[in-house]
Amino acid sequence: MGRSSMPRRLLLLAAPLLFLPSLQGCTLVGGPGAPTPEASGASPAWTQTGVASWYGEPFHGRTTASGEIYDMDALTCAHPSLPFGTVLLVENLANGRSIRLRVNDRGPFKKGRILDVSRRAAQELGMIGPGTTRVRITVVEAGGWPDSRISRALPRPPSVHGRLHRLPPRSPRAYDVDQVGQPFR
């Protein structure tokens, strides 16, 4: 080994150490400084404020990230990182209405939003017309399903066993067809 290879070897060993401080601000969900619950589950009284939206008809009757069937008339919501089963108190900051919702899906996937609520929850919060509103969410009860792989292995809640006879039929639309042209059932 010559003298010229020593600085190069030192640089190769030191490069990873120089890179580590840049990882400090990285998170999986949200941006720098965004509040995120612990991976093991959010503790009660954890709060977050931001914009919520609602989702309904196109997703009604489809499987959520938790493995449940989405019912737009149920009091449920989608959050990017809170464990499935977490119960939230959601307060509409524009009109003061509040409601308790259970996390059973992932989303929203639009930048700047913190929560997607079901159609019924949107009606009760008074946000159907505008489509979005500023909300404060507070964890009331920590959930027990950390991710979809675990929740799919668990038995489904009694309300979704068997056929989807409780969900109203939908008319077929272009988005109800899978990649091979077969309707989703």
CATH at residue 94:
2.40.40.10
Residue-number span of the structural domain to which 127 is assigned: 47-154
- Exposed/middle/buried for 19, CB within 10 Å: 0-12, 13-18, 19+? exposed
Q: State pLDDT tens for residues 12-60.
A: 665 555 554 444 443 334 433 444 454 435 556 789 999 999 998 889 9
Closest residue by Cα to residue 48 from 75, 94, 81: 81
**How many structural domains comprise the chain?**
1
Structure token pair of residue 166? 């409780």
173: helix, strand or coil: coil
Taking the C-alpha atoms of residue 97 and residue 73, their distance in angstroms, rounded to an integer, is 18
Q: State pLDDT tens for residues 126-157.
A: 999 999 999 999 999 988 754 544 444 444 44
Closest residue by Cα to residue 103 from 120, 117, 124: 117
Residue 148 lies in a domain: yes
